[in-house]
Amino acid sequence: MENPISQFDSGRGAWTRDPDGNRIVIWYSMYPHTTVVVDRERHRVTVHSPYRMGEEN
């Protein structure tokens, strides 16, 4: 039986930048893209899942 984990790419890191282009955090994932929201007033970065649970990826 195959290990299902082996079907995924290994995680890769990418810099996330604020609206001014400054590096603020590194995002690691097996997925190539996602939505990131930067809230300057609250000093918060929200990373949204690149897929919906239960759907085919």
Smallest Cα–Cα separation from 31: which of 19, 49, 43, 44?
49
The reply to whether 53 falls in a domain is no
Q: 55: pLDDT confidence band, cut at 50, 70 and 90?
A: low
pLDDT tens, position by position, 3-53: 444 444 556 788 888 888 888 888 888 777 888 888 889 989 898 887 776
The reply to whether 55 falls in a domain is no
The reply to whether 52 falls in a domain is no
Domain that holds residue 24: 9-47
The reply to whether 57 falls in a domain is no
The reply to whether 1 falls in a domain is no
Global pTM value = 0.56
The reply to whether 33 falls in a domain is yes
Structural domain count, the chain:
1
The reply to whether 31 falls in a domain is yes
Residue showing tokens 């082996």: 6
Reply yes or no on whether the pLDDT at 2 is more than 70. Answer: no
The reply to whether 2 falls in a domain is no
